[in-house]
Amino acid sequence: MNAVTETVAAEPVSGVEIFVPLAKLKKSPRNARKVPHGEAAIEALAASIQHKGLIQNLVVEPEAKEDGTPTGYYLVTAGEGRRLAMLLRVKRKQIKKSESVRCWLDTANDPAEISLDENVTRTPMHPADQFERFAELSNDKGWGAQEIGARFGVSAGVVKQRLRLGAVSPKLLQVYREDGLTLDQLMAFAVTEDHTRQEQVFEGLHHNREPWIIRRDMTAANVPADDRRAVFVGADAYIEAGGNIIRDLFSEDRGGFFEDASLLDMLAAEKLREIAGEVQAEGWKWAEAHIDYPHAHGMRRFYPQTIALSDEDEARLEALSAEHDELAEGYSSYDEMSEDVAAKLEAVSDEIDAISEKRSAYDASVIAHGGAFVVLHHDGSVRVERGFVRAEDEALADPQPEDEAFDPKAVEDEQAEDGDEDVQEIEEEDEEPGKPISDSLTRDLSAHRTLALRVALGERPDLALIALTHTLTAQLFYSYAEAGCLEVRPTVTPLGSHADGIEDTSLAAKANEAREAWAERMPRDVADLWGFIVGLDDEKRLALLAHCASRTVNALRLPWDRKPRTLQTADRLATALALDMAKDWTPTVDSYLGRVTKAHILEAVAEGVSEDAARHIADKKKPEMAEAAEQRLAGSGWLPAALRTPKAEAEQPAPVEVEEVGSVEQPSEAEAPDTEAEDGEASFAVAAE
């Protein structure tokens, strides 16, 4: 039957195709769809009609007045979405309201039933078929995401996701069609387009097929983009070298994953070696490049020595400082300055820094026989550690007077004669006036002196502070453990084996910077250390002692090492310091949330945010729950119990009045506290009167 162009209402005939001006079409009051079409659906229909025309006719009936007289308009029984899409095209000035619309005139069937039938009696395409058809459009016609999106009224981002899903292994797509995989699981496999890898991970899955497990296994051999190696090398250099970056289009990938870890390591090592070459060009004997700092190098380290500036440099520095202050006056930041003033101020600052660097320098012999390590910092920046000297070069870098040659035989003979000397001492004391006193007598006298030193030092807290600081500093900063006379041995427990990556954190960098700041001020020879410490004012001396003491802190909670009293003291120390771990630790998926149960995650959100916030994520799967919890807890200051600082006690016990030394009888060893007693107890063995 031929189509008829309608400008007025058609006769009440049924089963003919007619063309009606868009302006003459209305929504039928008997349309079964009461919930309106979504904006995205109308957008998609408009795009489809624009590129492919109207694929399916609208079904219409004539509108009539109460007396049956035609109004000249038609009611859209089926196809309201397409009518709205064409009105959207009018709004965009793509067509006019007079545009003829192909319709099918139906007056024989119930309009309400037709509308219901159109929306009910249909089977939507399986998503896998849609994904593959999108992939075919891209592969066969060469259309990009923008072109495909424009033709189907969806964003380029959605098209990219569907293309990625269409590129999943056909074997896994078939499993998805057969309901062997969920869409979330399929999206996890789509993190990479490697079909072999996808099928390998699928075959290795067990009863737990959580998407986060699939995604983890798919990227197990890859390096996240926020890894320090990736930051250091950079995405451009990595791609230029032939590397591929995997992008997860269905979750936050923080820049993707560097697929080839070996290539990334090689590029990082090469770049570090180039920098090491520049460092060695400063005159060092050697410079080694390492991704990780070689903590077990076992070398002695030397630090720069303070050097007085020349009169010329001092004068120039004074002039530059005055110029700097004059330029910066009235401004609180560079942003407030004009470009000329900011550039000039920056140049002055750079020259001040350059002259200030002359205040310290390594000894020429240390540079000639020592070296440096060039390593990666926690944030991907370069860290250069200079002043290390290998054992075989120590004598050349730091010539010290050699001790008298050690003769084991002479020692044995001397020890064997000790007894005889004691007997003959009185008889022969006048026979050899130049002969030194015996070892036994030396030990005797030194014991008396040691006891006297103990008593005297106990009465001089100021000197005890100096002696303790000297002993700790000598052992923590020098290789001479015997430099101090106090038998105090600091132990520094490495933390790297207890928490992966802790040595590359900003907090570890802060601790290292504090140590370096002190090390650079230390005298080169440990023999001068006592004078250095005595020369410090009280504030700086206490600061040095605090630094040394801080390096020995051990509050590790280990399952095989039960030490409740030690941990109780650590809690008290944290309270006294008002320690706030929230400044340096944040609950993330990696640091906490991904390593605890869902119940722990919900508890954290309830405590850190609110019970309502916890309820909103309670129905999520664990990976999604952990990510959502990380976002909600950001900036909340929430901490797990193991990181919380106990509150200070409201009331402290009154201080015990101590009588003057000597006025009370001191306890004997038998009366000393039993260190093996249970927590909170101290047993005393009281001597019978």
**Which band of pLDDT confidence, cut at 50, 70 and 90, is reported for residue 570?**
confident
Give the per-residue pLDDT at 374.
95
Beta-strand relationship, 58-64 and 100-105: parallel
Instruction: Please give the structure tokens belonging to residue 524.
Output: 């080169």
Residue 90 identity: V
pLDDT at 687 over 70: no
Q: Of 290, 284, 282, 288, whose CA–CA distance to 302 is shortest?
A: 284
Would you say residue 66 has pLDDT above 60?
Answer: yes
- Going along the chain from its start, the domains and CATH numbers come out as 4-120 (3.90.1530.10), 286-397 (no CATH), 460-554 (no CATH)
Give the highest mean pLDDT range of 365-379, 461-475, 524-538: 365-379
Residues above pLDDT 90, as percent of the chain: 17
Average pLDDT of span 256-261? 86
Residue 184 pLDDT more than 90?
A: no
**pLDDT (mean) for 49-71:** 86
Lowest mean pLDDT among 236-245, 447-456, 519-528: 447-456
Q: How far apart are the first and last CA of the chain?
A: 130
Q: Rounded to the nearest 5°, which phi and psi values hold at 361?
A: -160, 155
For residue 479, the model assigns a pLDDT of 62
654 has pLDDT over 80: no
Calculate the CA 4 to chain-centre distance: 70
The whole-angstrom separation of Cα 156 and Cα 159 is 5
Dihedral in degrees, nearest 10, Cα atoms 569, 573, 579, 582? -20
pLDDT at 260 over 60: yes
Question: Vertex 154, ends 152 and 156: CA angle to 5°?
Answer: 110
CA torsion sign for 102, 106, 107, 111 is negative
Residue 179 makes CB contacts below 8 A (sequence gap 6+) with none
Which of 201-215, 247-261, 630-644 has the weakest average pLDDT?
A: 247-261
Looking at per-residue pLDDT, the higher value among 238 and 566 belongs to 238
pLDDT score for 103: 92
**pLDDT tier, 369 (very low <50, low <70, confident <90, very high otherwise):** very high
Distance separating alpha carbons of residues 254 and 226, to the nearest angstrom: 7
Residue 100 reports pLDDT greater than 80:
yes
Three-state DSSP at 27 gives strand
| Cα–Cα nearest to 290, from 479, 500, 503, 497 | 503
Q: From the CB of residue 601, how many other CB atoms can be counted at a distance below 10 Å?
A: 26
- Token pair recorded at residue 496: 């790297």
- Would the pLDDT of 148 be above 60? yes
Cα separation values, 44 from 86, 102, 154, 220, Å: 11, 19, 6, 38
513: Cβ contacts below 8 Å, ≥ 6 apart: none
480 — pLDDT class (breaks 50, 70, 90): low
Residue 451 has pLDDT above 80, yes or no: no
- Is the pLDDT at 233 greater than 90, yes or no? yes
Interval 315-353: pLDDT, tens: 998 899 898 888 888 887 777 888 888 889 889 888 988
Block residue for tokens 């004598």:
395
Residue 646: band (very low, low, confident or very high) from pLDDT cuts 50, 70, 90: confident
Q: Which range is least confidently modeled, 129-133, 364-368, 534-538, 661-665?
A: 661-665
Query: Do the beta carbons of residue 151 and residue 47 sit within 8 Å?
Result: yes
Residue 287 burial class via C-beta count within 10 angstroms: exposed 0-12, middle 13-18, buried 19 and up? buried
Averaged pLDDT of the chain: 79
Asked whether the predicted pLDDT for residue 645 surpasses 60, the reply is yes
**What local confidence, expressed as pLDDT, does residue 254 receive?**
64
Q: Cβ atoms within 10 A of the Cβ of 394, count?
A: 17
pLDDT band with cut points at 50, 70 and 90 for residue 285: very high
What pLDDT was estimated at residue 234? 92
Asked if 296 contacts 388 with a C-beta cutoff of 8 angstroms, the reply is: no
| Nearest CA-CA partner of 180 in 203, 200, 213 | 203
Please check the confidence at residue 641 and state whether its pLDDT lies above 70. yes
CA distances from 403 to 110, 407, 479 (A): 115, 12, 17
In whole angstroms, give the CA distance from residue 305 to residue 286. 20
Give the pLDDT band (50/70/90) at residue 122.
low
pLDDT score recorded for residue 402 = 44
**Lowest-pLDDT range, 191-205, 428-442, 469-483, 537-551?**
428-442
pLDDT at residue 634 greater than cutoff 60: yes
Q: Hey, what are 312's tokens? A: 């010329």
pLDDT tens readout for residues 16-58? 888 999 999 988 888 878 777 888 888 888 888 888 788 888 9
Pairing assessment for the beta strands 16-21 and 305-306 based on DSSP bridges: unpaired
Separation between Cα atoms, residue 98 and residue 109, nearest integer Å = 28
Pairing of strands 371-376, 286-289: parallel
Selected residue with higher pLDDT from 320 and 15: 320
Which of 129-133, 468-472, 624-628, 646-650 has the highest average model confidence (pLDDT)? 624-628
CB 60 within 8 A of CB 20: yes
| Percent of the chain residues topping a pLDDT of 70 | 82
How far is Cα 75 from Cα 29, in angstroms, rounded to an integer?
8
Which amino acid makes up residue 182? Answer: T
d(CA 487, CA 485) in angstroms, rounded, equals 6
pLDDT score at 395: 84
Query: What is the predicted pLDDT for the residue at 650?
Result: 56
Model-level pTM? 0.48
Q: Looking at per-residue confidence, does 81 or 556 come out higher? A: 81
Query: Which of 131-135, 150-154, 382-386, 643-647 has the lowest average pLDDT?
Result: 150-154
Give the pLDDT confidence score for residue 666 in this predicted structure.
43
Q: Reply yes or no on whether the pLDDT at 679 is more than 70.
A: no
In the three-class reduction of DSSP (H, G, I as helix; E, B as strand; rest coil), residue 168 is classed as coil
pLDDT band for 422, please (50, 70, 90 cuts): very low
Confidence of residue 505 (pLDDT cuts 50, 70, 90): confident
